[in-house]
Amino acid sequence: MSAPAIQCDNLSRWYGEVQGLAGLTITLDHGVFGLLGPNGSGKSTLMRLLTGQIHASRGSIKIYGETVVPGNHHVLRHIGYAVGEDVHFENERAVDFMKMLAVLGGDSGAAATTRAMKALDYMGMADKASVRLREMSKGMRQRVKVAQALLFEPDLLLLDEPLNGMDPINRRHTIDCVREWGESGRTVLLASHVLHEVESVTNRLIMLHHGRLLAEGRLSDIRQLVDRKPRRATIKGDNLRQLIAELLSDELITGFSQDTDNSFHLDTFELPLLLEKLSVYGRNGTIETLETDDQELELVYSLLLSDNA
């Protein structure tokens, strides 16, 4: 499509006297874009405005040249959306949940089943198609959410915190899928409050702060500001002592602490190298979950805010 995927012009939204988004003007064409900001920065408000769930208090949105206004449902056919909230039909099998959405979108019979299985397979969930959603781990449920967003192969894919709760293997698979979708000529907007998550997918960034645009551009331009700051990764699993010893021996961590739930907090100055090492252990099932702190995000915000003061 020749028109930009997203055009927001002076976009604003208030909730009573509370400002959700204020004067946002951005244009996004093709590829993957990271939407970054702490909770309350306006990420979810923007997602809801783009999908027509709420309407602008001021300003306008165009999706591929069509204005998003009440009643214009045709424009929404371009969009696939994975919400941040964990909302499912708990008693349904994954394939039945997906088939129901396919039928609502106009498919029937075998066509709905084929479409459902194709989306689940793309997200590595075909072998879990008959598992009920209530029986799935959080990471599996997250992949089902992304699969339903991909169901009708949208031109514009909106993902709100899609990597939450995923183990290292499925996190990598999801990142690869998102990157592939953007490289196919489509557009992906991935919202997160974790800088490293966004950096693993794209170098193009939109940063929001209290509903306003704080920065837009290449993450590499601010990367040098935070490379030498200490970071923390948290892993959970059984029998991780050998891994911890190897990380200390390889000088990938400077120290660690353990919680009662079998999780370890790892302190490091070499986060990219540490995550590469942990991904190897993730592939053999040693690590159940992996999370990084948002200390780096706080630092970036403090630097940008001081520059804008």
The 10s digit of each residue's pLDDT in 28-67 is 999 999 998 888 899 999 999 999 999 999 999 999 999 9
pLDDT over 60 at 256, yes or no: yes
Cβ 188 vs Cβ 50: under 8 Å: no
Euclidean distance between the first and final Cα of the chain, in Å? 39
pLDDT over 80 at 304, yes or no: no
Three-state secondary structure call for residue 44: helix
Distance CA 56, CA 49 (A): 7
Q: What is the mean pLDDT of residues 17-23?
A: 90
Q: What is the mean pLDDT of residues 198-213?
A: 89
For position 259, what pLDDT does the model report?
86
Query: What confidence tier does 225 reach under pLDDT thresholds 50, 70, 90?
Result: low
Query: Mean pLDDT: which of 58-67, 210-219, 257-266 is highest?
Result: 58-67
Tell which wins on pLDDT, 255 or 284.
Answer: 255
Q: What is the mean pLDDT of residues 202-215?
A: 89
The phi and psi torsions of 62 (rounded to 5 degrees) equal -125, 135
Q: If you average pLDDT over every residue of the chain, what do you get? A: 87
Residue identified by tokens 């050998």 is 242
Query: What confidence tier does 302 reach under pLDDT thresholds 50, 70, 90?
Result: low
Q: What is the mean pLDDT of residues 22-32?
A: 95
CATH code, 6-219:
3.40.50.300
For position 38, what pLDDT does the model report?
82
pLDDT over 90 at 165, yes or no: no
For position 1, what pLDDT does the model report?
64
Q: How many helices (H) and strands (E) does the chain have?
A: 10, 14
Indicate the domain borders of the chain. Answer: 6-219, 231-308
Q: What is the mean pLDDT of residues 270-297?
A: 78
Decide: residue 226, CB within 10 A, 0-12 exposed, 13-18 middle, 19+ buried: middle
Distance CA 236, CA 161 (A): 20
For position 122, what pLDDT does the model report?
95
CATH architecture designation of domain 231-308: 2-Layer Sandwich (3.30)
Query: What confidence tier does 179 reach under pLDDT thresholds 50, 70, 90?
Result: very high
Q: How many CA atoms lie within 13 A of 252 on its CB side?
A: 17
Tell which wins on pLDDT, 38 or 78.
Answer: 78
Among 47-51, 95-99, 224-228, 289-293, name the one with the lowest average pLDDT: 224-228
For position 305, what pLDDT does the model report?
66
Q: What is the mean pLDDT of residues 154-169?
A: 90
